[in-house]
Amino acid sequence: MKTFIYTATDVQGNTVKNARMTAEDVNDFLEKIHDKGLFCSSYKEASSKKSNTLYKFKTAELSYNCRQLSAMLTSGLTLVRALDILYKEQVKDAPKQVFREIYEEVQKGTSFSDAMRMQQGAFPNFMVSMIQAGESSGSLDVIVRRLEDYYDKQNKLNSKIKSAMMYPIILAVLCVLIVIGLFTFIMPTFKDLLTEKDMKGLTGALFAFSDSLRGYWYIYLGVVLALVFIINYALKIPDVRYKWDKFICKCPKIGKLVVKVYTGRFARTLSSLYSSGIPMVESLERSAAILNNSFIEKAFVNVIDEVKQGEQLSVSIQRTGIFESMFCSIIYVGEESGALDTILEKSAAFYEDESDSAIQRIVGMIEPIMIIIMGIAIGFVIAGILPALYNSMENIA
């Protein structure tokens, strides 16, 4: 299959720019354009590097679209009519095109979930699986309502994380700017007041660093950019990413708080999938994958194998040593009582509240670290300059 980027006009005179369509070849592409009732003014084949870079919906957009779709399906509108309205409501061209193609595919008789899969990753696998389960059980409106709640909670959690991290980020930027300002603007003004005798030890080292920062700033900038590139590249290597993800989970103090956040997301996802009628094995696979942590995903390979062989889920999860014992006990109670979906939903709400507290505590740990780093930098400057200045004043006197 090839991907074509095109600009076309429909019978009403509306223009669609930079839209994408997959087809076998040019003739197949032109035939599809004709079937849609569009007049194609220009088109080109997308390069192989860009063929997979379709529009991917953000959590906030998924929350909004699920809310709109849920309201329409609950009010009695057919899926085709709801998708038609949803497609026309989109403001941006890219999501508008995605929903337009889904609407047209569903009109042809394609299932909603299959039409979403055709969009090459525009929607999360979790959402597609939920929609498929809703179609199979005939309760699509209920499933979409659950998706609305799920993405609404995810969006609120993401917003809380961004809001909580804003102050430490601003503090870190200020810390860097203050250090740069001290060594590039303030320290050079004292250099003429000092003698060669004063330029020894800590004082000499600080002024040497100040001179190098002013004269060779581009080297420091290059080193920082190189480090960022190396770290990003290293984290794409499976072994390195696995060790980093394991460190995040096992790190003293912070690790427990991070695991609480993971527990809330895992419980909510597993609850949503399992209560929608999706088999436990598939629910576990999706729930572990959505955490985006290779250490947890690898641990759940064994969990899934053991569950397939008839092992209790609570026992298998306990063996991983990732989640706390209380969460495993909650799952055990759900298994024994036959109300695992209900228990998971309640535990998800509990751990989501715990996640909020954990995020605040993580941020509370970062803030003093930033202040300490800033204090150490200023302290070094004072310790290096003041004694030398004092000696110079004595010599003048």
Residue 355 in any domain: the answer is: yes
Tell me, yes or no, whether 233 and 365 share the same domain. yes
Tell me which of 18-22, 36-40, 167-171, 177-181 is least confident: 18-22
CA atoms within 13 A on the CB side of 262: 24
pLDDT band at 200 (very low <50, low <70, confident <90, very high): confident
Residue 167 in any domain: the answer is: yes
Distance of CA 245 to the CA centre of its chain: 14
Which of 265, 261, 233 minimizes the C-alpha distance to 248?
261
Instruction: Indicate the DSSP class of residue 185.
Output: I
Residue 116 in any domain: the answer is: yes
Tell me, yes or no, whether 329 and 187 share the same domain. yes
Averaged confidence pLDDT in the chain? 82
Tell me, yes or no, whether 165 and 290 share the same domain. yes
Tell me, yes or no, whether 201 and 121 share the same domain. no
Q: For 238-269, write each residue's pLDDT tens digit.
A: 899 999 999 988 888 788 888 888 888 888 88
Q: What pTM was computed for the model? A: 0.68
Q: Which residues lie below 8 Å from residue 214, measured CB to CB, with a gap of 6+?
A: 183, 184, 188
Q: For 214-242, write each residue's pLDDT tens digit.
A: 888 899 899 999 999 999 999 889 899 99
Instruction: Indicate the DSSP class of residue 224.
Output: H
Range of the domain at 28: 2-45
Domain boundary among 136, 153, 170: 153
Query: What is the 3-state composition of the chain as percent helix, strand, coil, each rounded to the nearest 5?
Result: 75, 5, 20
Residue 53 in any domain: the answer is: no
Rg, the chain, Cα only: 29
Domain boundary among 128, 153, 178: 153
- List, as one string, the DSSP characters of 98-149: HHHHHHHHHHTT--HHHHHHTTSSSS-HHHHHHHHHHHHHT-HHHHHHHHHH
Provide the residue type at 176 as one letter. V
**Residue 12: pLDDT over 80:** no
Tell me, yes or no, whether 388 and 341 share the same domain. yes
Tell me, yes or no, whether 122 and 25 share the same domain. no
Say which CATH number the domain at 84 has. Answer: 1.20.81.30
- Burial of residue 330 (number of CB atoms within 10 Å: 0-12, 13-18, 19+): buried
Q: For 109-126, write each residue's pLDDT tens digit.
A: 888 988 888 887 788 888
Residue 110 in any domain: the answer is: yes
CB-based burial, 290-299: b 16+ in 10 Å, e otherwise: bbebbbbbeb
**Residue 91: pLDDT over 80:** yes
Tell me, yes or no, whether 188 and 102 share the same domain. no
Q: For 284-301, write each residue's pLDDT tens digit.
A: 888 888 888 888 888 888
Residue 38 in any domain: the answer is: yes
Tell me, yes or no, whether 147 and 183 share the same domain. no
Domain count, the chain: 3
Residue 54 in any domain: the answer is: no
- DSSP 3-state of 3: strand
Tell me, yes or no, whether 191 and 128 share the same domain. no
| Alpha-carbon span 66 to 125, nearest angstrom | 15
Instruction: Indicate the DSSP class of residue 5.
Output: E
Residue 187 in any domain: the answer is: yes
Tell me, yes or no, whether 193 and 295 share the same domain. yes
pLDDT at 53: 41
Average of per-residue pLDDT across 354-382: 78
Tell me, yes or no, whether 165 and 288 share the same domain. yes
Backbone φ/ψ region at 20: left (φ over 0), alpha (ψ -120 to 50), beta = beta
